[in-house]
């Protein structure tokens, strides 16, 4: 029986799942496997380790088909670099490297039209149109985009705490929350931490914002509402690509949108936008990678 493996390599984690003709056999979760410019080998190492663990969990060393959907491979240069690096691993004779956008759309809608909003460390909006074309909004990284992402929320929290500490903004429990989460000791330590922190580390601060909002902190609530509006705007911007006036399904994916509070905030804004219809239930992008792999069996 043909064995297929699908991978979702994102900015927060990498998920690899193994399946045969009867269904999924097992999966493994590893560190972030997103591709950064010039660092395809680093991403390939993380992805390869996670794939090995998923195969070992079901007693296998190789897979007939491997499909990797990765963040950061929208440009052909990065996609080909990751493909070449993974070929060296020798997992399979049939390797497909595509984007995290492609596998998310596949998981949500198959080949049918619809919109996916993804929010994890980064964010993007993408749509498959009726003619099969894929168009996108955002996804330009932490310097140029990532509206509504965990990184955007974490950075907004740092700015809010800085202003509150100086008296240029309202006092907020976020200062104590961020200091505790980063183990930085005090405000000065938090400043030092922030200067050295990378995008994934800043994104981790979203957990403190969610906790503060649950505790009734108005500044944390405002950060989440602004982020939710920024993320939902991706879907609204994609609507003109869909002809007619019928409903357009929107699926939500990514680790940040697994958090009920944030998901509810985004869903509430989408509900106020004409034509947008939220697809119920969680989205598991790695199943999209498996579906694409299944089509490459022969």
Counts for the chain of helices (H) and strands (E), in that order: 11, 10
User: At 38, is the pLDDT very low, low, confident or very high (cuts 50, 70, 90)?
Assistant: confident
For the segment 159-195, what is each residue's pLDDT rounded down to a tens digit?
999 999 999 999 899 999 999 999 999 999 999 999 9
For 37-46, which contacts have Cβ atoms below 8 Å and span 24 or more sequence positions? 37/72, 37/78, 40/78, 40/81, 40/82, 40/84, 40/85, 41/85, 43/9, 43/70, 43/72, 43/82, 43/85, 44/82, 44/85, 44/86, 44/88, 44/89, 46/9, 46/14
219 in Cβ contact with 170 (< 8 Å): yes
Q: All domains of the chain, ordered by start, with CATH?
A: 4-106+285-295 (3.30.420.40)
Look at residues 77, 1, 19 and name the one whose alpha carbon lies nearest to residue 286: 19
Q: Where are the beta strands (DSSP E) in the chain?
A: 4-9, 14-20, 23-30, 65-70, 94-99, 114-119, 123-128, 134-138, 248-253, 276-278
User: At 29, is the pLDDT very low, low, confident or very high (cuts 50, 70, 90)?
Assistant: very high
How far, in Å, CA of 180 to CA of 20, rounded?
45
266 in Cβ contact with 226 (< 8 Å): no
The answer to whether the predicted template modeling score (pTM) of the entire model surpasses 0.75 is: yes
Query: Could you tell me how far CA 164 lies from the centroid of its own chain?
Result: 30
């Amino acid at each position: 029986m043909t064995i297929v493996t699908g991978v979702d390599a994102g900015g927060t984690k990498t998920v690899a799942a193994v399946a045969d003709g009867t269904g999924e056999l097992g999966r493994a979760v590893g560190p972030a496997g997103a591709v950064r410019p010039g660092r395809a080998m680093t991403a390939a190492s993380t992805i390869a380790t996670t794939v090995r663990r998923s195969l070992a969990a079901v007693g296998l060393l190789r897979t007939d088909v491997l499909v990797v959907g990765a963040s950061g491979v929208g440009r052909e240069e990065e996609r080909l670099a990751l493909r070449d690096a993974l070929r060296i691993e020798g997992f399979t004779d049939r390797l497909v490297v595509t984007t995290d956008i492609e596998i998310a759309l596949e998981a949500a809608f198959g080949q049918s039209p619809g919109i996916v909003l993804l929010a994890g460390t980064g964010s993007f909006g993408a749509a498959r149109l009726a003619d099969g074309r894929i168009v996108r909004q955002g996804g330009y990284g932490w310097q140029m985009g990532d509206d509504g992402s965990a990184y955007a929320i974490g950075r907004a929290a740092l700015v809010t705490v800085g202003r509150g500490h100086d008296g240029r903004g309202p006092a907020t429990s976020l200062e104590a929350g961020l200091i505790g989460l980063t183990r930085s000791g005090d405000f000065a330590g938090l400043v030092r931490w922030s200067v050295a922190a990378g995008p994934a580390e800043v994104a981790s601060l979203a957990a403190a914002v969610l906790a503060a909002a649950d505790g009734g902190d108005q500044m944390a609530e405002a950060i989440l509402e602004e982020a939710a509006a920024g993320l939902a705007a991706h879907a609204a911007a994609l609507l003109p690509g869909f002809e007619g006036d019928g409903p357009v399904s929107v699926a939500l994916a990514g680790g940040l949108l697994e958090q009920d509070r944030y998901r509810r905030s985004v869903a509430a804004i989408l509900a106020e936008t004409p034509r947008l219809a939220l697809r119920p239930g969680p989205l598991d992008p790695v199943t999209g990678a498996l579906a694409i792999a299944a089509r490459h069996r022969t």
